Amino acid sequence: MNTEAKVGALVIVCAAILLATIYHVSTAALKGAHVPYRTYLRYAGGLESGADVLFGGIKVGTVTAVRPDTGDPTRIEILMDVKDGTPLNEKSVAKLGSVTLVTNPVISISTGSNDAARLPPGGVIPSAETISLDDTQRKVAALADSAQSLMEAVHTDVNNLTGDARLLIANLNEVAGKPNQEHLASTLANADAMVARLSPKIDQISDQALKLTKEANDAIAKVGPTVDNANATVSNANETITRLRDPLQADLAEMQKTLDQAHSLIADLQAAMRAKDQDMTYTLENVRSATDNLNELTESVKERPWSLIRIRQPKDRKVPQ
């Protein structure tokens, strides 16, 4: 083997060793730069291991496993490796998606909120279910059935509207026929003649209305000073009432005080009269008794005046013989 062949073989071996070293180093670096996470969905939609994981539309990792959840068989557990430093937080939401209509499904994670706490490695990313193709087909079928019913109803309504429109057109044709046109022309001619006859009267009425308006304006101008005087009188009366209000209120207060005192005095007099009523009754009885005694004495004096100077009645004188 010549020298050139030996040099070429050495270069090839060195290049192979360099490529192998770069591959192993990059593989180790990538493995150390990823963090595991998981999420759960009810419908995986054909998702497989190796599918991309997008964060805000940027590829940040891959799906490592898609399997039924051992704790809850009704949901699918999805494991993924995400680049270290990806700001997954408690407000981030993972859902099944796709970049285009013909590409394989991917896991799309929303950016969440900057104020939310960051998810720890191995944490569970909150998920949101997507509508499956079967559900979409069922909804489209239900919508088609509803559309068919709606079209039938619209067709019926259109037929009814068409019949009504035809009837309306027939009525309009009847109204716009020649007899009605002649009648309308006659009516308009009569209206024109009436306007021509009434035009002078209308002008006269307008002139009278203008004259009355002018007279009313003159009367209002004459009444204006009277109204001003009335306003001044009312203002003076208001000022007088305002000046007299306080003295009148004071006099009324004094009068109220006097009436209260009079009521109190009358109440005292009534109490005194009730207290002296019995004494007055006794006094009147005594006066009545004294009056009776005086009357008896008077009668006695009238009948026996001598009793005033003698105790016994004198003997009767003998008649001389």
124/97 Cα distance (integer angstroms)? 18
Are residues 158 and 88 part of one domain?
Answer: no
pLDDT in tens, 130-152: 876 666 667 777 777 777 777 77
Task: List the domain range (segments joined by +) for residue 118.
Answer: 35-130
Question: Regarding predicted confidence, which is higher, 69 or 9?
Answer: 69
213: its two tokens: 């308006």
**Contact assessment for residue 56 and residue 7, using Cβ atoms and an 8 Å cutoff:** no
185/177 Cα distance (integer angstroms)? 12
126/109 Cα distance (integer angstroms)? 9
138/44 Cα distance (integer angstroms)? 19
| Cα–Cα nearest to 46, from 70, 71, 78 | 78
Binned at pLDDT 50, 70 and 90, residue 7 comes out as low
Q: Is residue 246 part of a domain?
A: no
Are residues 165 and 126 part of one domain?
Answer: no
pTM score over 0.85: no
Q: Is 47 left (phi over 0), alpha (psi -120 to 50) or beta?
A: beta
Q: Which residue has the tokens 């949901």?
A: 75
What's the pLDDT at 24? 61
What's the pLDDT at 236? 79
Binned at pLDDT 50, 70 and 90, residue 315 comes out as low
Are residues 119 and 136 part of one domain?
Answer: no
Q: Is residue 263 part of a domain?
A: no
Total domains in the fold of the chain? 2
- The domain boundary, picked from 66, 95, 130, lies at 130
Q: Is residue 256 part of a domain?
A: no
Give the range among 79-88, 217-226, 256-265, 281-290 with minimum mean pLDDT: 217-226
77/308 Cα distance (integer angstroms)? 154
What's the pLDDT at 28? 47
Q: Which residue has the tokens 């079928």?
A: 141
Q: Is residue 260 part of a domain?
A: no
The gap from C-alpha 51 to its chain's centroid, in whole angstroms, comes to: 54
113/88 Cα distance (integer angstroms)? 9
In the predicted structure, residue 288 carries a pLDDT above the cut 60? yes
In the predicted structure, residue 320 carries a pLDDT above the cut 70? no
Q: Is residue 20 part of a domain?
A: no
Helices (H), the chain: 3-32, 133-175, 178-303
Q: What is the mean pLDDT of the chain?
A: 79
Q: Is residue 12 part of a domain?
A: no
286/261 Cα distance (integer angstroms)? 37
